[in-house]
Amino acid sequence: MDELKVYFNGVMVPGSEARVSVFDHGFLYGDGIFEGIRAYEGRVFKLAEHLDRLYDSAKSILLEIPYTKEELSEAVCATVRANNLQDAYIRLVVSRGKGDLGLDPNKCPVPSVIIIADRIALYPEELYLNGLQLASVSTRRPATDVLNPSIKSLNYLNNILAKIEANLRGLPEVVLLNHQGYVVEGTGDNIFIVKNGELLTPPVYAGILNGITRQCVMELARDMGIPCREQNLTLHDLYNADECFLTGTAAEIVPAVGCDGRVIGDGMVGPITKQTLEAFKRYSRSTGVPVYDKNVATA
Domains 5-118 and 125-284 share a fold: no
Does the structure show a pLDDT above 90 at 121? no
pLDDT in tens, 173-182: 999 999 999 9
More confident residue, 162 or 298: 162
| CATH entry 3.20.10.10 includes domain 125-284 | yes
Mean pLDDT, the chain, as a whole number? 95
* Residues forming beta bridges with residue 100, ordered by sequence position: none
Q: Map out the domains of the chain as residue ranges.
A: 5-118, 125-284
Q: What is the mean pLDDT of residues 65-92?
A: 98
Question: What is the set of active-site residues?
Answer: 152
Residue range 100-122: average pLDDT?
Answer: 95
Average pLDDT (162-172) is 97
Domain 5-118, architecture per CATH = 2-Layer Sandwich (3.30)
| pLDDT of 195 | 98
- Is it the case that residue 120 has pLDDT exceeding 90? no
What DSSP assignment string belongs to 132-187?
EEE-EEEEEPPPTTTS-TTS-BS--HHHHHHHHHHHHHT-S--EEE-TTS-EEE-S
> What's residue 297's pLDDT?
38
Would you place residue 51 in the very low, low, confident or very high pLDDT band (cuts 50, 70, 90)?
Answer: very high
Average pLDDT value for residue range 136-164? 95
DSSP letters, the chain, are -PPPEEEETTEEEEGGG----TTBHHHHH--EEEEEEEEETTEETTHHHHHHHHHHHHHHTT---SS-HHHHHHHHHHHHHHTT-SSEEEEEEEE--B--SSS-GGG--S-EEEEEEE----S-HHHHHH-EEE-EEEEEPPPTTTS-TTS-BS--HHHHHHHHHHHHHT-S--EEE-TTS-EEE-SS-EEEEEETTEEEE--GGGT----HHHHHHHHHHHHTT--EEE----HHHHHT-SEEEEEETTTEEEEEEEETTEEPTTSS--HHHHHHHHHHHHHHTS-SEESS-TTS---
Q: In this prediction, what percent of the chain has a pLDDT beyond 90? A: 95
- The span from the CA of 81 to the CA of 239, in Å, is 45
Report pLDDT digits (tens) over 203-238: 999 999 999 999 999 999 999 999 999 999 999 999
Average pLDDT over residues 60-76: 98
